[in-house]
Amino acid sequence: MSVVSEETAYWKERYFTLLNEGEKRQTEQNEYENLLNRAVIRLTQAVSGLDAALDPHLRAIREVMRKGENSTLRRELDALLDTLIRTPKLGHPTATTGQGRELLRFLEALCATPEEKAASEAVCRRFEAGGYATEQELFDAAARVLRNRKGSSATGVIGKLFGKGQAATADIDTAKLRRRLDELLRALNLSASLQERLEQLKARVVDDTEDLIALFDAAAALIADMDAGYWQEQKQFGDFLAALSGKLGELEGKALRMDALNQSSAEDRRLTEKAVAGEVAGLRADASQATNLVQLRQIINMRLDIISQRLDSFDHAEEARFTEVQAQVQDLSGRLRTLEQEAEDLRNRLALANQAAYIDPLTKLPNRKAYLERVDLEEKRWRRFQQPLTLAVWDIDFFKKINDRFGHASGDKALAMIGQVLAASIRNTDFVARYGGEEFVMLLLGSDDSNALEIAEGIRQRIEDCEFIGNGKRIAVTVSCGISQFKGRDGFQDVFERADKALYQAKKKGRNRCEIMSPV
């Protein structure tokens, strides 16, 4: 073979080798890009809703990634970074929240005059600048704006928004205002004493026949009462801490007095021992110098009298100190028992308050806050142990018709009855909560979606067979259910969205049925 042929063969082989390597690297690059695209899409979904200013950019980035329009990706990322620079850090105490934004939208809808709008805008600016350390501070500021509004006594605190008659509402999107009000009420987390009023108001909001002015007045009064109740609780807790501080100061004084008595006793004992030792030494010296028995007897008697007086004096002082210390100990023990009882009472009150914060007062089931904590925990367990975990979302069929036809009291009874059936139909390891309105969520541990469907069908049938009486009439109550299993890299929000879509399919197919939706 010629030199030219050998060189041609070498370069040809080299070309194909490099071509194969290039194709392999291109394949790996495509896999990395696909993985990165999925990660970015999941991340944008995970942080959606944390800040309204970021949501449009997150949606735009998801669309760009899905369509593969890489030419516009850099522009969208730059826009997102610019917005992040102007936004408080997520997780910081002053970061914006969905609940806070809903309150601000509600407040903006209420304010009509220039003065009222100026007050509302001032709250919004401070909120965006991170000026409220907690959501409670934001609620307090909104409550002050509502209290300072100059509404007509005839039409209530927001009468000025609509004028003195219903005709003034003609140009107002009442449906939008009702939706905003409903979103605000669902975001509120009130004490048990106000929860019943909140539930009644939410039921009135979805009733189109209710007067809108009266609804806004009731909402404003509820927020004002929430503000007053919060400060009352804060004052009571502050008074208790002030009293506790005073009692601890008294106990500290008693302890210092007892310590001083102990120190005094130790010092007297040391001085007495020293005096007795001196008298004994003197006795020895004098005895060695005595010349006769009479003189020796006189010396011994004198020294013994001195030692006896010293010891008697010490005994009297010790007895007095012992009596005082015993009185101090008894007083201290009594005060400590009282303090322990007060501390126990406070712990019980805090435990009840904490329990009330996680329990829905109507159904006695865990509420949405409890569900969010539990589902986060179960997701972590699922990731670690890879045991099946399935989420079911329940919704009462035609619940609004039950309220309209039989009254809200009957609707509340239906909610309580269904809550009892759901709670009685699951295992101890499972979990069910009232998510809000007529919706419930259920976590089935160790159950895949097919097993969960079998369980859900049994529950659905039991609810359908229930004899529910409202206003003396039998009410047919049925429920629909959407089911989805945790799989792959699912977060609980991904699974909830799938289960919610499955619930929508069940409603679309005629209600009173259960549907499964698996990951795409």
Give the tens place of pLDDT for each residue, 254-301.
566 666 666 766 777 777 777 767 767 776 676 667 666 766 677 777
How far apart CA 422 and CA 112 sit, in angstroms, is 46
Place of tokens 């977060």: 491
Tell me the one-letter amino acid at 146: L
**Looking up tokens 């516009």, which residue turns up?**
72
Could you give the CA distance from residue 480 to residue 499 in angstroms, rounded to a whole number? 11
CA pair distance 105, 318, nearest whole angstrom: 75
> Residue 423 to residues 21, 391, 418, 442: CA-CA distances in angstroms?
60, 15, 9, 9
Bridge partners for 456 per DSSP:
none
CA distance 477 to 479: 7
Q: Answer whether 447's CB lies under 8 Å from 390's CB.
A: yes
* Ramachandran quadrant class, 510 (left: phi over 0; alpha: psi -120 to 50; beta: rest): left
Most distant pair of Cα atoms in the chain: their distance: 147
Retrieve residue 367's tokens.
Answer: 């509420």
- HSE on the CB side for 194, CA within 13 Å? 18
> What six digits make up the tokens of 15?
């070309």
Active site residues: 438
> What distance in Å separates the CA atoms of residue 441 and residue 434, rounded to the nearest whole number?
6
Which are the contacts of 15, defined by CB distance < 8 A and separation ≥ 6?
Answer: none
What pLDDT was estimated at residue 497? 94
What backbone phi and psi angles, to 5 degrees, belong to 293?
-70, -35
In sequence order, which residues have a C-beta less than 8 Å from that of residue 361 and are 6 or more positions away? 192, 195, 196, 199
Is 350 within 8 Å of 343 (Cβ atoms)?
no
CB of 132 closer than 8 Å to CB of 141 = yes
Given a contact cutoff of 8 angstroms between Cβ atoms, the answer to whether 332 and 251 are in contact is: yes
Exposed, middle or buried, 52 (CB in 10 Å: 0-12/13-18/19+)?
Answer: middle
Q: How many residues does the chain have?
A: 520
Consecutive 10-residue averages of pLDDT for the chain (520 residues): 59 67 69 63 59 68 67 67 55 49 71 77 78 70 70 43 43 67 69 73 76 77 68 61 63 63 69 71 68 70 73 74 74 73 73 75 90 94 94 94 84 91 94 93 95 95 86 85 95 94 95 92
Among candidate residues 446, 520, 443, the one with its CA nearest the CA of residue 483: 443
pLDDT in tens, 330-357: 777 777 777 777 777 777 776 676 677 7
How far apart CA 503 and CA 492 sit, in angstroms, is 16
- Dist. CA 54–CA 48, nearest whole Å: 8
The confidence score (pLDDT) of residue 171 equals 45
CA distance 305 to 453: 100
Residues with Cβ within 8 Å of residue 411, at least 6 apart in sequence:
203, 399, 402, 403
Distance in angstroms (rounded) separating the CA atoms of residues 45 and 38: 11
CA distance 405 to 113: 39
